[in-house]
Chain A
Amino acid sequence: MAGIFVFSEDHALAGQLLTPALELKKSLAQPVIALALCEQDAKALAALGADKVVVLQSSGKWVEGFAEAVYSQVKAAEASIVLVGGTLRGKHVASYVAAKLNAGMTTDAKALRIEGGKLLATRVLYAGLAVCEEEVTLPAVATIRARTFLAPEAAATAGVIETVNAEPDARVTVDEVTSTSSEGIDITAATKLVAVGRGFRKKEDLKLAENLGGVLKAELACTRGVAEDDHWLPIERYIGISGQTVKPELYLAVGLSGQVQHMVGCRESKVIVAVNNDERSPIFEAADYGIVGDLYEVLPLLTAALGK
């Protein structure tokens, strides 16, 4: 078996996957092979240290349709590891590949290493309640979410690039793709976040949080209800088990109770601060610092104090 494969349709994420891949290379002494969907991405990945990059060229553009091609490459190389970017599309592709390989797959690995000839991955269980170590026999497939790792520095020598043809999946017709990301904000990149929950009574009141975010130079984030039920903020700002995961320096949670489904998305923040009028809220257990008080009173005072 030879090959640590890396694939993501998200080129930034693909670059990040090279970091754990290159680390695994040290243990396995196998080449790192990246799969890309276009020449441009391939060049970037080659420059970051992939030994080889294979461009999968196809007339079809549906990412999931490349699953068979990914599998062919992996099978031909007799890969031992396949790292796939943990986007929803990536998980679809990874699962397909794992099934064809009759291989084990670990989803959303937070850390990876080789131990005793197997892949050892750390991941979350029971909606965030627990953390476990999963041991996967090789060949192993793993998905890794964005920003779990940082992309490596540029490599001394760039890898080779080759191109192969991939058959599209003719069974599925893509009728329409409508972009939903507004504004193009990426809260996962923010170093400071002010997160709002349903303690805010109306949409206009979010201004208080925006003002605080202004003096702190923090981006705005929110709980699921604020985005999906109330539609006060776009879905990209929703942090939680089925939303974004963030690791900022400061996470300031205002008017949110701190339930596990939300906290699993931000609990690796360096410092967590909470403002809530209910002393019994779980958020205080998860906070480094907090104020028990009415956010309508506290936020203006805090904004004024920090603005000086």
Chain B
Amino acid sequence: MNFELTEEQQLIGQSAREFGKQHLEPIAVELDHTGTFPKAVVNGLAKHDFLGLLLPAEVGGAEAGFVSYVEVIENLSRYSAAVASIVNNHTIAAYTIQNWGTAEQKKQYLPGMAKGEILGGFAIYEHGPTPGVGANALVAVKQDVGYVLNGKKAFVRNAGEANVYVVFATTDPAAGAKALTAFIVKADAIGIKIGEKLETMGLKGCPVADITFENVVIPENALLGAINEGGAISAKALAVASVAEAAQTVGIGQAAVEHAAAYAKQRVQFGKPVATLQAIQTLLAEVATDCHLARLGMQNAAVLIEEGKPFEVEAAMIKSFLVRLGSKMLLDTCQVEGGFGYSEFMPLPRMFRDIAGTNLLDAPGDFPEKLIAASIA
């Protein structure tokens, strides 16, 4: 059993770290303040092949594998989890097209997505009880020319900036979620109304908004996968996404513990650096431990994804772990830094708000514990 990354994976992580240091670190604070989509940075990511990381070489991707991917996400998240979110949202859309798209669909979208010329978004959630159910559920009605979409999608990531969305709609309101079907919808389709950008607690700069579909006509070949396959597709995609989000959480946690440790070595109270005080040592140790174990769990799930093996239980476990302990990493590191951990001119408060977001996002199954329990009992 080898716990070490391969040379390639290490070098890819190093490239991501260098990119983060050079391009993300200088803009992270401003991005958090303005929430303005960082177009230049996203273009830079594209140039370094980060946006096509998982895609095969024949469409212009780097074909690097999922473990390399989470290495990138973790390292980018150390500097700006918001930018890492943009990459994640785009990548999960590309991943879905790559795995369920027809040859034509892949040819139409993936080369552009690999180059970052086409940015992807993912529209699954709704305000109703579950996607496909409720008054505002997104409904796709089959017609001669293709499908007509009506309804509303909630919390769409990369909303407004994406050029193409992977969208889930029910083709039969009576069947609701069981008839959930995936479609590829171009952002410039007539009738798409991007709602007001949501003011989120953290991960600012990664746009989130509702999208209303008013008689949006999409062609026949916009169907992604089979009719009624949307449930299975979204479940798989969200499970994969949750591992990538765990990588974000680990990246944020790592940055936080390094920052707090450096602070504790400098801050002198009672005649010596606070890093020598047991209370501080305990906090730092717990955070470092949780982060380390979370990384191992996340990497384990990533390896399984890369090897095409069942991974949902492992993904659920790391999700469950981080829902419980992810934010604690930031609660504790803020505590270490005392007043500075509460001051917005320092990075921890931003990280605190960001990590609350990475833990909230997608999950395998309805909720992770259900899946885990089902696997053992």
Report if A and B associate in a common complex: yes
In angstroms, Cα B266 to Cα A282, docked, is 8
Least Cβ distance of A283 to chain B in Å? 11
- The interface residues of chain B lying within 8 Å CB-to-CB of A282 are 266
**B263 beta carbon closer than 8 Å to chain A:** yes
Least Cβ distance of A123 to chain B in Å? 28
In angstroms, Cα B268 to Cα A279, docked, is 9
**B267 beta carbon closer than 8 Å to chain A:** yes
In angstroms, Cα B265 to Cα A281, docked, is 11
- The interface residues of chain B lying within 8 Å CB-to-CB of A285 are 266
- The interface residues of chain A lying within 8 Å CB-to-CB of B266 are 279-282, 285
Least Cβ distance of A293 to chain B in Å? 15
Interface secondary structure of A, over-half rule:
loop
The chain A residue with its CB closest to the CB of B345 is A278
Which B308-353 residues have a C-beta within 8 angstroms of A?
340
Least Cβ distance of B74 to chain A in Å? 26
In angstroms, Cα B340 to Cα A70, docked, is 59
**Interface residue count for B (Cβ, 8 Å)?**
4
| Residue interface bits A281-297, CB-to-B below 8 A is 1, else 0 | 11001000000000000
Least Cβ distance of A175 to chain B in Å? 35
Which B88-105 residues have a C-beta within 8 angstroms of A?
none
The chain B residue with its CB closest to the CB of A281 is B266
The chain A residue with its CB closest to the CB of B337 is A280
Interface centre among B263, B266, B267, B340 (most CB of A within 10 A): B266
Which A256-308 residues have a C-beta within 8 angstroms of B?
279-282, 285
| Residue interface bits B263-286, CB-to-A below 8 A is 1, else 0 | 100110000000000000000000
The chain B residue with its CB closest to the CB of A285 is B266
Interface centre among A279, A280, A281, A282 (most CB of B within 10 A): A280
In angstroms, Cα B182 to Cα A214, docked, is 73
Least Cβ distance of A255 to chain B in Å? 15
In angstroms, Cα B340 to Cα A279, docked, is 11
In angstroms, Cα B337 to Cα A279, docked, is 12
Least Cβ distance of B290 to chain A in Å? 24
In angstroms, Cα B266 to Cα A285, docked, is 8
- The interface residues of chain A lying within 8 Å CB-to-CB of B340 are 280
Least Cβ distance of B296 to chain A in Å? 31
Least Cβ distance of A76 to chain B in Å? 51
The chain B residue with its CB closest to the CB of A284 is B266
Least Cβ distance of A233 to chain B in Å? 23
Least Cβ distance of B190 to chain A in Å? 49
Least Cβ distance of A166 to chain B in Å? 47
The chain A residue with its CB closest to the CB of B340 is A280
In angstroms, Cα B340 to Cα A285, docked, is 19
In angstroms, Cα B267 to Cα A279, docked, is 8
The chain A residue with its CB closest to the CB of B265 is A280
- The interface residues of chain A lying within 8 Å CB-to-CB of B263 are 280
The 9 closest A-B pairs by CB, nearest first: A280-B266, A280-B263, A280-B267, A279-B267, A282-B266, A285-B266, A280-B340, A279-B266, A281-B266
- By a beta-carbon cutoff of 8 Å, the part of chain A in contact with chain B is 279-282, 285
**Apart from the given pairs A280-B266, A280-B267, 7 other A-B contacts in the complex at a CB distance below 8 Å:** A279-B266, A279-B267, A280-B263, A280-B340, A281-B266, A282-B266, A285-B266
Residue pairs across A and B with Cβ atoms less than 8 A apart, 9 shown, are A279-B266, A279-B267, A280-B263, A280-B266, A280-B267, A280-B340, A281-B266, A282-B266, A285-B266
